[in-house]
């Protein structure tokens, strides 16, 4: 009897029909998002290693943009943040519509996408054991744009710091004023500046941290009013963007224009600090400045 007649060969685990050929092998797929390319040195980077390095390229030290919650977790001591003024929400006073969508539609979309209700986190926490009032602009939500709610929350935070004699730290990451609110958004520039003037009169210490990008109305108000202004390396800092300025004046701009290093050279920024050293720098400044005030 032939072997095929017994049926044994067909059921054997190493029968030829069971062995996967070149066309039968299942291709192993690399999960999406596992790797990323550095926009500065163009190295291929393992995303997890970048995240563990505080969103800094391990090859060239390029500082990637960081989400608001991650920024908060890296800056403050673990589990010390007490959020304040989180019950204020934006309205639509101008009944703004653009491309068939209302402002409220856009806000709802941003909430679902980012997990935040507004473009700023405000509260109190500890930086290496030093208690401070802290505001973190959230670039994930409408590019950290300055609107009525952000202005109100920042003013309440500044007043809270004034009443309790706390140092104030605001980390800016913003695309400017929020066009959906028109002049109501622009009013927040004067409003936050006035609150900071009262805080300064009370003897408070305000440390402003500028990250990439800090532009528009944010730059023209509270971001540049710090007693001490710290910037991250190569952060874009300015009012109008370099392309707008170049097209307006019809002239080439200096090398490095509107980058942190350029502004430090011109006296607009006091320090440029690597993200890894930011906690140390802020705690040192609080110790030094508050001791002599």
CA separation for the pair 238, 174 (Å, rounded): 11
Residue 175's alpha-carbon distances to 144, 204, 218, in angstroms, are 6, 27, 8
pLDDT tens for residues 16-59? Answer: 555 555 555 555 555 667 999 999 999 999 999 999 999 999 99
pLDDT tens for residues 134-167? Answer: 999 999 999 999 999 999 999 999 999 999 999 9
Q: Are 252 and 222 in contact (CB under 8 A)?
A: no
Q: Are 155 and 120 in contact (CB under 8 A)?
A: no
| All domains of the chain in start order, with CATH | 26-64 (no CATH), 65-291 (3.90.226.10)
The answer, yes or no, to whether residue 222 has pLDDT greater than 50, is yes
The answer, yes or no, to whether residue 68 has pLDDT greater than 90, is yes
Short-list 169, 255, 178, CA closest to 216: 178
Q: Could you tell me what percent of the chain has a pLDDT over 70? A: 88
116 half-sphere exposure, CB direction, 13 A CA radius: 22
Could you identify the residue written with the tokens 């007693």?
Answer: 227
Beta strands in 42-127 (DSSP E): 44-46, 82-83, 97-98, 101-102, 120-127
What pLDDT is attached to residue 1? 46
Q: Could you tell me what percent of the chain has a pLDDT over 90? A: 84
pLDDT tens for residues 194-207? Answer: 999 999 999 999 99
């Amino acid at each position: 009897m032939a072997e095929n007649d017994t049926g044994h060969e067909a059921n054997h685990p190493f029968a030829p029909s069971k062995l996967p050929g070149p066309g039968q092998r299942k291709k192993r797929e690399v999960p999406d998002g596992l790797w990323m390319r550095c926009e500065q040195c163009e190295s291929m980077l393992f995303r997890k290693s970048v995240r563990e390095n505080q969103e800094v390229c391990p090859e060239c030290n390029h500082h990637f943009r960081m989400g608001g919650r991650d920024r908060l977790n890296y800056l403050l001591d673990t589990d010390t943040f007490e959020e304040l003024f989180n019950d204020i929400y934006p309205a639509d006073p101008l009944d703004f519509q653009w491309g068939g969508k209302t402002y409220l539609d856009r806000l709802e979309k941003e909430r679902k996408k980012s997990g935040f209700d507004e473009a700023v986190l405000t509260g109190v926490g500890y930086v290496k054991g030093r208690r401070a009032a802290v505001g973190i602009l959230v670039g994930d939500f409408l590019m950290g744009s300055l609107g009525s709610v952000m202005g109100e929350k920042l003013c309440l935070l500044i007043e809270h710091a004034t009443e309790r004699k706390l140092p104030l730290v605001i980390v800016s990451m913003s695309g400017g004023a929020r066009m959906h609110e028109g002049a109501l958004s622009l009013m927040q520039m004067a409003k936050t500046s006035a609150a900071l003037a009262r805080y300064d009169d009370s003897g408070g210490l305000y440390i402003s941290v500028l990250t990439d990008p800090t532009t528009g109305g944010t730059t023209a108000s509270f971001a540049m009013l710090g007693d001490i202004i710290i910037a991250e390396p190569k952060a874009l800092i300015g009012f109008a963007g370099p392309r707008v300025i170049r097209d307006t004046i019809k002239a080439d701009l200096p090398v490095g224009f509107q980058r942190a290093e350029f502004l430090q050279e011109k006296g607009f920024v006091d320090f440029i600090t690597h993200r890894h050293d930011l906690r140390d720098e802020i705690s040192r400044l609080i110790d030094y400045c508050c001791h002599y005030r």
